[in-house]
Amino acid sequence: MKPTTIFKSLVLLLLITGLSYSQLINTELKLKSDNSSDFNMSSQNKKLLEKRASLYQKPTKKIYFVPGGKIGMFFLQGDFNGNQMIALEAFGKYVGDGFWAEISIPFRFKTSPAFTDIGLDVNVMYPFMGSSNKSEIDPFVGGGLGLHFIGRDRDDPNKTTVSARGGLGLNLIAGAVFFRNYDFNIVLELKYFNYLREFDDMRYQGIGLNVGVTFPR
């Protein structure tokens, strides 16, 4: 074989080898680029999902404020047994880990004869489920004290028409919070209230059944 033929064959072989190696390098770079893009897309999707999930999480602060309101009926006991009052309540609660402190303004009233009660209560509640529990229902118990101002129309013509008095009242409460993982919570509670002093020589006490809503986010 002539030297020029051998030379030409070597040059052709080198060219073919170079082109093959170049194509292999390009293929590897493309695969790395695709994998990197997939990784970046996966990271972006993960961050997006984490961001969306954070929108549906409750506040992570150790203590946070939750407003709400309640409506219900208050069934008088003892000396006023047999009477019912409409109960309205605006409240806010400071939620901590394993408890919440509730500050409320209850207002109860009835007509024929007129009877009203407005107060300022401070109660502490202890839920059965911890904050890490994802159950939709959380029973609780609690209680507290409040300053109440009560008044009523008297039936006795020998006394003044209206009687009013202020004093401390005791609350004992049991209930449950529903829809805990939503943007709102429903509260159902049974509340025993006892006015701790006599009113017109009678005891003012009763049991309330209330339903309420709170907005924890």
Extents of the domains making up the chain: 1-55, 64-214
Decide: pTM greater than 0.75. Answer: no
Strand partners, 127: 140
Token couple for 180: 């805990």
Q: What average pLDDT score do residues 10-34 get?
A: 55
Note the pLDDT tens digit of each residue in 67-116.
Answer: 999 999 999 988 887 789 999 999 999 988 889 999 999 999 998 888 99
What SS3 class is residue 188? strand
Class for the domain spanning 64-214: mainly beta
Query: Tokens 């020998």 — which residue?
Result: 158
Contacts for 58 with CB less than 8 Å, ≥ 6 apart: 131, 216, 217
Please give the helix or strand (H or E) that residue 151 lies within, else none. strand 137-153
Q: In 3D, which of 104, 112, 189, 191 has the Cα closest to residue 148?
A: 104
- CA-to-CA distance for 19 and 8, rounded, in angstroms? 16
Which 3-state string (H, E, C) describes 54-92? HHCCCCCCCCEEEEEEEEEEEEEEECCCCCEEEEEEEEE
- CA-to-CA distance for 112 and 203, rounded, in angstroms? 19
Phi then psi for residue 110, to 5 deg, are -150, 165
Q: In 3D, which of 90, 208, 110 has the Cα closest to residue 151?
A: 110
Mean pLDDT computed over every residue of the chain: 79
Phi then psi for residue 40, to 5 deg, are -65, -45
Highest mean pLDDT among 3-7, 30-34, 158-162, 170-174: 170-174
Gap between the terminal Cα atoms of the chain: 89
Please tell me the predicted confidence (pLDDT) of residue 98.
86
